[in-house]
Structure 1
Amino acid sequence: MSQDWRLEVAKEIGLTPVFAPTHEDFTLLLLYLDGRTPSYGEEVLHVILFLYPYVPLSASPSVFLPFSSDIERSLASLKERGLIEEKMEFRSGRYVNSIRLTDRGIAEARKVYSAFSNSWVLLNGFVLRKGADVIAELEALKKTYNDKSPLELLKVLASKAESEGEAFVKRFRLQSERQEKLVLGIAKQLSRDLKLLTRETYF
C-alpha cells in the first residue's frame, strides 16, 4: 500500500519533513551510534531491531535467536557496496564477528543520521515519531545489548517472552495460533531453565 496518503496527512498537521527509513538505513544508523562502536556479532543487530517495536521486520525464531532475512539482505547489500566490513575478534573469552562501518560507510551513515535527526520518522508504515527520539531509543538498545553473548541475549528474549506473552510472540508473524503457542511455551520454559542455571552458577 502506498504511503503517500500518510505523508500528506503529516504535512497537513505540520509534521514535516517526514523520513521513511529502509532496513539498510536502520542498520547504518545502528552501526553509527554509540561512537560508531562495531556490532559485536551479527546476532546483536537482529536482536536489537527485533526488540525495537517500530521496525517492520520479517523475523523467524531460529534455533537460538530471532533471525531476520531483511537484516541479512541489508548487511549483504551494504557489504557489497563497500559500506561495512567484518572482522573476527577475540572479546571477553570468545570470538565474535564484528561488523563496522568503512570510511565510505561512515559518510553514508552520517547522512542517514542527519535524516533521522531532522525529520519525523515514519515507522512500521503508520507511526510518526521524532527522529531524535528514535535515535536515542536505538542508541540505548545498542549500549544495553551490544557485546552480550548469545546466551545472554537468549536469556533476555526468553524473559521478555515470559513477561509479555502473546504480544511478544506476535512479532514473529507466525503462520498459526498453534505455532505461536508452541514458541511461547518453549520460550517460557527456557526462561525458567536459564534462571535456574544462573542461580546454580552463583552457588
Structure 2
Amino acid sequence: MESGTRRGAVVLRVGHFAIEIRRSWAVLLTAYLIGGCVTALAGGHTEVGGRDGIVVAALAFAVLAFAAALFHEVGHALAGAAFGRRAVGLVLKAGAAVRIEEAAPGSRGATAWAESLVALSGPLASALIGLAYYNVSSAVTSPFAWAALLAFVDGLVNLVPVVANSDGNRVLLALTRSRPRLVD
C-alpha cells in the first residue's frame, strides 16, 4: 500500500487506475532471477537439461515471486474496496505497492480499525498465496516451495513496524492515532 507522490512512468491507464513502473523495478527482477538461479542450483534442477533446467527454474521462481507480490497488493485493494476506498494505481518498484484513495473523513473507512484491516490484508494475502504455493510444490526444493517461503517471509517482514511504509507501521500508526494522549 502506498501514498505520496508519483515518480515513475505510467505505462497503462484504464479509467482511474494506472500502472506505474519506477526505475527500481529492474532491481527487483534481477533479485528474483538471482534468487531463482540459487534456488535451481540448490535444488538440483539441472535434470531438466543442464543449464536449461536452471533457467526454467529461475524464470518459474521469478514469475511466482512477482505473482505473490501482486497478490499481496490485491489483498490491500480488496480490503480498501470493502471500506469504500478504491484502488487508483499499482506501482512496480523494488517491490510493489497499490495506491488506494484516502477515506473520506467520518466515513467507515476512516477508522483505525479499517486502516488496520486494509494494512493487514496484504500480509494475509501473502500467507494465503504462500500456502497455495506450498500445497502445489511436489518437493521442498521446487520453485513453488521457495516462492512459498518468500511469500511467507514477505508477509512477516511487512508486519514489522520498523520501515515507514510497512504494513505493520501503518497498523501501529492507525491504532495509536486513535488513542487519547495520556501525557503531553
Do the two structures share a fold, i.e. TM-score over 0.5?
no
TM-score per shorter chain, which class?
Answer: under 0.3
Normalising by the residue count of structure 2, what TM-score does the alignment of the two structures yield? Answer: 0.26
